[in-house]
Amino acid sequence: MAVHKNSRLSPDRDFYEHIKRRNPRASLLWLAGDRLFHGGLVLVMIFIPAIFFAYTEKVSPLFMFWLSGGLALSIILFFVGIFLKRESYKTAMKDGMDITKYL
């Protein structure tokens, strides 16, 4: 399946393309942060309705425990992704890149 260049998931993908050539460490941080951010976001959107459904249907407490743990883990992934993307921007600024045109 071919991915078209105009169909990008992240709005700051151009920043990644720019830092990929100039600072590999910052690009690795950006890529990991982007994946964790979107993965955590999708998981949060799955777990919240699942917990609501399980709560209204009176499922076992053990199942609610696992759903709550999954929600907590997905929230952690979400915020770790935000942190890593922020670190990639800070690393790029320390390297002397002008990031204002990518924001």
| 59 falls within a domain | yes
Beta strands in 23-80 (DSSP E): none
| 64 falls within a domain | yes
pTM over 0.85: no
| 33 falls within a domain | no
For residue 82, give its domain range: 39-102
| 2 falls within a domain | no
Q: What is the pLDDT of residues 16-74, one digit of tens each?
A: 888 888 888 999 999 999 999 999 999 999 999 999 998 898 888 899 999 999 999 99
Helix boundaries (H) for the chain = 13-22, 24-56, 61-94
What's the number of domains the chain is made of? 1
User: Terminal CA-to-CA distance of the chain, rounded, Å?
Assistant: 30
Look at 36 and 101; give whichever has higher pLDDT. 36
| 23 falls within a domain | no
